[in-house]
Each structure stands twice: as C-alpha cells, then as structure tokens.
Structure 1
C-alpha cells in the first residue's frame, strides 16, 4: 500500500515566516470558495474581473485584477440593496490569500446566521461587538501598543514589519470605501507608507470579520510559497525555510514488538542446518570411477 504524502497539497517550496510577509499566492479560488459553496451568484466581465453576489444582493464581492487601482478584493454589505454600502473592506493585490480566505469564511458563516450578524455594528463596551476585541489576537502574540500620531490607536508586530491602526473621530464614509483613509488599516512591510500589502475596513465592519483577519495574521505558523515568486517582495525581511519531504516515521512500541515477534517466529520455524566443527569427522571420499 502506498504511504500518503502529507506534502502533496502544499503549493510551494519554502515556508515563509512570519506569515504576514508571505504576500499573495496569486490564486483567488480559496477565498471565493466559502461564498460559492453557499450558492452565491458568480459573474465575470470582459476584462477578467470576478463578481460574487449573495442571493439577496446584500453582500457583494469583487475580485478585480483589472481594476482601477491595487484594490484586488473589495467586499461590501448593504442594509438596502439599492442604497450605499453599510460597510466595506478592501485587500490590495499582495495581501496573503489566506487572510482574505479567513475573512470570507467567517462572512459566509455570518451570512447564514442572518443580517443581525453580518450587519452587526461595533459597539464599545459590548461583550461581543466591542471593536477592540479585533486587536486581542495580535496582543496575545506579542504585538505592542503604539501611538503613531494623534487620533490613532495602533499595535505593531515585535519586528516592526506589520501593524494595525484604528482611527478615532468622524470619517468620510465615501473615502472609507474608496481610499486608505478608513477606520481600520492593517499593513505589512517596511512601514505603513511602504507596505508590502495593506487591508482596510470601514467603520461599521462587524468585529467578527475583523477578528478573523487578525487571528489569521497573528498565527505563528508559516505559510508555503514558491521562492521565485515571493522573494522579491520580502527580501531581507522574512525567513525562508525549505519545504523538505518528511523522513520515515519513527517506529512505535507496537512496531518494535511486532518486529521482535516476527523474528522469533522465523527462528522457531527455520529448518535445522548442520554445522561443521573441529570435532566433526571429515567426509569419506566417494568411490572412484
């Protein structure tokens, strides 16, 4: 029987650590899958952009490789399908695909639970919807509180190569949906002004969706990537470890016991073989022809 290969589904030849420096895989299917599995409508335009709509048109996703800017993923939710978005999130073209997948996975679950979940507004002091709950996964993994400028609360990764900012005060709702001037901004790279990637979320983005993103980013497990495709993005910042085929598994006590038992049984049933010794008489010569 062929032994299963635990690496057969790994798409890459190196592990990238920390994972927030891994950049995109260049494949959008994993992040689209949670929504398509719910039967959401899938459309394409002539340029190669992809659009996914919830059955009631209250949530819409655009995967826009041929969009007007570097906002590769744009996801909006609506209280009124014909009104302005209630909240919006954007992931640029280098965000790790796993981060977007974490967002869409929780979005799919929230949509099944109904509008009270996927349109739930953050509320300070709430046990479930306090916006700062989204920061907790980062703090648990050693990210530190930072005060980059007035009116901004921020946390930063221990190596200074990633951060998350929360802007206080009133913001322009339209600018939140179309620029980086949003309530939340997550980035990775040299600095927020020179990021490898960034993601934004507007004021009323549900806390559960934000937390899905920060939990994914804070996860210490590395991500697999192809060295040739990602090294230019992360040169000098990330650690790369080769993905090697696994060695043979260590024998278990049961394996050892079976091996000893098998050798013992073989010895018992082995045929008797005469052995020569110094006391043995030499063989008599046979008759001559």
Structure 2
C-alpha cells in the first residue's frame, strides 16, 4: 500500500487490471526522467523522452494519431529502425506502464544495453511464472497460448508462430497482447509487445499485473462495469504518531488558556472622549 503522502484518491482498488486509468503519465514518466532521459514537449501536450544514448524512445501521446497513449521503442543504433515496439492505450492503468518504464530506467541506470538491442535476459517461460503463481490458468492452442486469472477479467496472449517484423513494428500485429477488464470479446484496456521486446521488460509488466497490492483511485473515476468484480475499500486517514498527538494536545491547551487584555491608553482616551454628554446637561 502506498505511503500516506503518496495517496492520490479516496478509495483503494484491487486487482490493478480492473482499476482503470488515471489519465496522467507522471508515475510512468518519472522513473525515466530520474534515470537521465531527455524530455521534449510539443504544442499539443505530447511528451517525448529519449535515453542519453538515443536507443530508447518513449512517447506519451494524448494527442496522438491513434488510441495508443504510450509508444515505446528500442533501437540497436540511434538512427536505426526500431528493433522492438511496446504500446499501451489510453485506458491502461498507469501502474502497469510504470512497471515497464521502471525496468527500462533500471537498465539505463546500470548501463545495461539489452533494452536497446532487444536481447532476452529472461526466457518467455519465466515471464508467465508470476501469473501462474497467482493462480492464473493457461490455455494452449496451435498458434497461441493464453493465460487468465480466476475471474477471467484479464487476458495475456502469446502468439507462438513467427511474425513479420515489419508488420509488428508498424503496429499491425504483436507477439504479446495484455488486456484487462475483459468481458466477452471486449476489454477495458490493451497493451502490446513485439517479438524482440526484451523479456525482462515483459516480465516486469506481468509481475505488476499479478501483484494483488491495491492502487489509489477516485471513486467516481472507476470503470462502472468493473465495480462488481473489484475489491474497493475507502482510503483511511493516516494514524497520527505520538509526536503528532503531543503537538495537538499542546495546541488545544494554548487555545483554551484565558487571556487578560490590558487596553492601551490610546484606546481608553478614544473611548472616554466618545461618550455622550450627561443627562442633566441635556435637560438644562
């Protein structure tokens, strides 16, 4: 649960894949900025980040040309075409995106170039382990494998056959799809990863997806159709420390102490000179 000073909402919601979007990019952008990524803003409100070596590009695009709010690419060389692409749409919980970008930031901090090259530091099997340990259930088909939680309101799909790289980079197809709030054939939000997306970045996303830790939201912003399946609890005010209690007691004692106010000579003068004449004088 986040510290009291970081709470931004009036309820806690779990699981995260049913919490909906906060429509802000700050929690996912901050790890990258702290890791030294360069920032560029355009006149429309879009934000573009690039790693110091120019091999990782991140776009937060509320005024983009499609429904992908986040577009993240890795390049083997600064001017080379993208090696891999990850996207998240407008409705994706920002905590899911932040798990991905935090792993990117850690690579940058430790001088790890695997993110740009798209080399796999983690096997694809290992990316499913957090979900499997959380009780998610596998389903295997001839062309794809999928895994869902017991409530069947999220879905991770992995295409087993080889895909065309150009189609993937142009966002026509994706090796991985991650969605939440799934009901029937529709979903509340969608994320995608192409074939060469480093598996440790995908694994970081899966870890947060399976994490039961609640997230803070404003009650009126929760997706209506997810409410019945979500665990929603009010945010409780922080418990005061002994020092807070002592300070409050001192403040109350000071406010109840009677004060004796001695009027100044000037006030006495103004008061006496402003009195009306005596009654006998008016009768005379």
The TM-score range, normalised by the shorter chain, is 0.7 to 0.9
Counterpart mapping for 1:148-227 below 5 A:
149-179=141-171, 181-191=173-183, 193-227=185-219
Partner of 2:205, secondary structure, is helix
Name the counterpart of 1:125: none
Q: CA deviation at 1:180?
A: 6.1
TM-score, normalising length from structure 2?
Answer: 0.78
Pick aligned residue for 2:98 from 74, 84, 101: 101
Q: Distance in 2 between matches of 1:77 and 1:192?
A: 33
Name the counterpart of 1:137: 130
Q: Which runs of 4+ in 1 moved over 6 A?
A: none
Name the counterpart of 1:261: none
CA deviations over 1:79-133 (Å, ceiling 9, x no partner): 12222111110011111111111111110111232324542423xxxxx431121
- 1:41 aligned onto 2:38: yes
Q: Distance in 1 between matches of 2:186 and 2:241?
A: 45
TM-score, normalising length from structure 1?
Answer: 0.77
Partner of 1:111, secondary structure, is helix
Q: CA deviation at 1:20?
A: 1.1
Partner of 1:195, secondary structure, is coil
Would you say the 8 A contact 1:180–1:200 is kept in 2?
A: no
Pick aligned residue for 2:69 from 59, 72, 76: 72
Summarize the Cα distance change of 1:221–1:67 in structure 2 as closer, same or farther, 3 Å threshold: same
Partner of 1:110, secondary structure, is helix
Q: Distance in 2 between matches of 1:191 and 1:83?
A: 40
Return the structure number with greater helix share.
2
Would you say the 8 A contact 1:90–1:200 is kept in 2?
A: yes
Name the counterpart of 1:89: 86
Comparing 233-242 with 88-97, greater Cα deviation is found at 233-242
Q: Distance in 1 between matches of 2:228 and 2:212?
A: 19
Q: CA deviation at 1:191?
A: 4.1
Give the RMSD, CA atoms, in angstroms. Answer: 2.1
CA deviations over 1:202-230 (Å, ceiling 9, x no partner): 10111110111010110011111001112
Q: Distance in 2 between matches of 1:235 and 1:132?
A: 32
Q: CA deviation at 1:233?
A: 5.7
Would you say the 8 A contact 1:111–1:118 is kept in 2?
A: no
**Number of residues of Structure 1 aligned to a counterpart in Structure 2:** 239
Q: CA deviation at 1:165?
A: 0.7
Name the counterpart of 1:121: 119
Partner of 2:187, secondary structure, is strand
Name the counterpart of 2:12: 15
Summarize the Cα distance change of 1:60–1:247 in structure 2 as closer, same or farther, 3 Å threshold: closer
CA deviations over 1:166-192 (Å, ceiling 9, x no partner): 101121223323436200111112348
Would you say the 8 A contact 2:31–2:105 is kept in 1?
A: yes
Q: Distance in 2 between matches of 1:206 and 1:22?
A: 26
Give the gaps of 5 or more residues in structure 1.
Answer: 1-5, 123-127, 251-289
Summarize the Cα distance change of 1:199–1:55 in structure 2 as closer, same or farther, 3 Å threshold: same
